[in-house]
Every structure is written in structure tokens, then in C-alpha cells.
Amino acid sequence: MSNRQTRTPTSVLLPTVSWTAACDDVAAQLGPEDELLIIHDSKDDPVVDRKPLSENVQFIPAGDPVGCSGKANAIAAGMEAANHDRLVWTDDDFHHPPDWLDRLHKDYAEYGPTTELPAFVGQDPLAVLLEPVYVLGGTLGTYMGDHAWGGAVIFDRSALDEERFLSELRQTISDDGLLGEHISVTSVQRVRRVPMGGSLRQTLERHIRFNQIFSTHDPTVAKLSFGVLVAVLIGCVFFPLLAVVLTVLTAGVSASFGVRRASLLLTVPALVAAVPLGLYAFARDTFVWGGRRYRWHSKFDVEVLNE
């Protein structure tokens, strides 16, 4: 930790119920005027047993969500507790290198509100198969669309109508999906590898959630994307060379972001699997996220169910 603050004082919001390596990573990067807010559910969460802590690392109990996701509820509680205008949101499931926070500040100085990109790495067979889908939709889609990713985004709260934002946040599922509707962010071509899945059920529930977030926040683009996907797959049947070109392009896109995975050779099978899985995601009326089951009726109508 530096003895002299050379950047804008920052509040880093990190929702988690367990202390992970990411907490240590971020805590080590704080300047003397920065703060790390570990946002959890209740005093019974194992994360609160972590001691000793520096004075600029605080635990914020958010309580159980009512009418929103646990993540949205945690971010809202963290923003209310944060002392600084400059905010960074991050997650507990990927490595934060020693220069992570400094690089975000440099990005902000150049671009304003900025986001890094996720590169999802499968932890079970289905998740590995779907990696090409997440390269195209999660990594490339976030980059091309300048969409906020809640795992690494920096902005000033003064850039949005905070009272309205927090009110809407406590009525919805996707924290970063909503943030992107309130402020404009610039994505930088820098990825963080995020583990995905671990079991068939975990991968299915994530896929359902991602599809429903996409269709809720960008319904027109979601429908268009699904139509293009079907058309491309039909084209692959009649023109097999198209399948080879598509695989090479996907691998090239991934490599341009510094991610090289053998799973990208499965691009066409992954896109074929994405069709029934997408239909399944839209047909499901509930999904599980972080140990809670949700029924998402509309953008600002969320029912939290007992899992």
C-alpha cells in the first residue's frame, strides 16, 4: 500500500459471502484514502470471520434481497455506504493483478467510465463446449457494444441520477445491465479470466440468466442475434466451408483478446447447442443464482423464491 495517495480516492465494491484471493488482491492495491467494501448478506456469512483487517477494508451487511437479485441488493447497499464519488465494482471470482486498480484509473483519465472484459473459462464439459458462445457474446459483445461488466467497471456516481438508479437497482436482476442504461462506458481490450460452471446445473442456470438478461435489456438485439445464429447454422449445412471460416474467425477474435483455448475448435457445435439452450432459457420462468431462485416477470418485477 502506498504511503501517499496519487489518484482520486476510490470506493471499491466487492460483493461476496466468503473471503477469496480476490479480496486479498484488491486490499493490497488500496491507497491510504481508498476503501474496500466487502458486501455480504448477514453476520453469519463466513467472510466476517476474516481478521485482522486494515482500517480501509469494511464489511457491509446488505441483508436478504426483496424484489431484486442478491447482487443488485449488495451493490445498492455498497453504494449507499461508500464514502467516495469514484466507484469501482468488482467480483470475487477472478485474479486481480497488482496493477489492476491503477490501470482502471488510467483508463478513466483517458476515457471516462471504463470497463474491462470477461473471458469465461468452462469448469465442466457443457461450460467448455459453450466457451465459443461466450467469446462471441460475452467478450466480443461487451467490447463492441461498450457494455458495462460488473466484474471490473469504474465510474463516478455523480455521472448518474443515483436516487433513481438505486431505486431501480432494488427492483431488478442485472446490476451492470442497469448501469449501462444510466451511463455510457468505454470498454478496453483487456480481459479477466472468469471460471464458468462447475456442474451441468450451474452452467445451465448461468446460461438461463445470461439469456434472460440479454433479452430483457436488449430485446430487439436479442431477437436479431438469435435469427442471425439460426441463419448462419443453416448456411453451414449448405456451405460447409462457412463452418471452417466461422471457427477460424472465432479463434482469431479470442486470440486478439489474448485468450487461446482449444475449445474454440468447437465453435459450430457450440452454436448448434446454443439454439435449443436459448429456447430452453426463454421457456424457463425461474433460474438460480448464488443460492437463490428468482422469477423475473419483467425488468422491474422480480420475485425471490425459496431455493
Contacts of 83 (CB under 8 A, 6+ apart): 9, 11, 35
Is residue 242 classed as helix, strand or coil in its secondary structure? helix
Strands 301-305 and 292-298 turn out to be antiparallel
* 33 phi and psi angles, rounded to 5 deg: -100, -5
Does residue 52 or residue 7 have the better pLDDT? 7
CA–CA gap between residue 307 and residue 289 (Å, rounded) = 10
| pLDDT in the model for residue 237 | 92
Buried b (16+ CB within 10 A) or exposed e, 29-46: bbbeebbbbbbbbeeebe
Does pLDDT of 3 surpass 60?
Answer: no
Contacts of 173 (CB under 8 A, 6+ apart): 68, 69, 72, 209, 212, 213, 216, 289, 294, 296, 302
Side-chain half-sphere CA neighbours of 84 within 13 A: 22
Q: Tell me which residue has cell 459450430.
A: 268
Residue 80 region, left (φ>0) first, then alpha (ψ -120 to 50), else beta?
alpha
Does pLDDT of 188 surpass 80?
Answer: yes
Confidence of residue 54 (pLDDT cuts 50, 70, 90): confident
Mean pLDDT, range 34-47, rounded to an integer: 95
Confidence of residue 306 (pLDDT cuts 50, 70, 90): confident
| pLDDT in the model for residue 51 | 80
The tens digit of pLDDT for each residue in 238-263 reads: 999 999 999 999 999 999 999 999 99
What's the chain's length in residues?
307
The tens digit of pLDDT for each residue in 83-128 reads: 999 999 999 999 999 999 999 999 999 999 999 999 999 999 999 9
CA–CA gap between residue 62 and residue 68 (Å, rounded) = 12
Q: In the chain, where are the structural domains located?
A: 8-91+147-183, 115-145+187-291
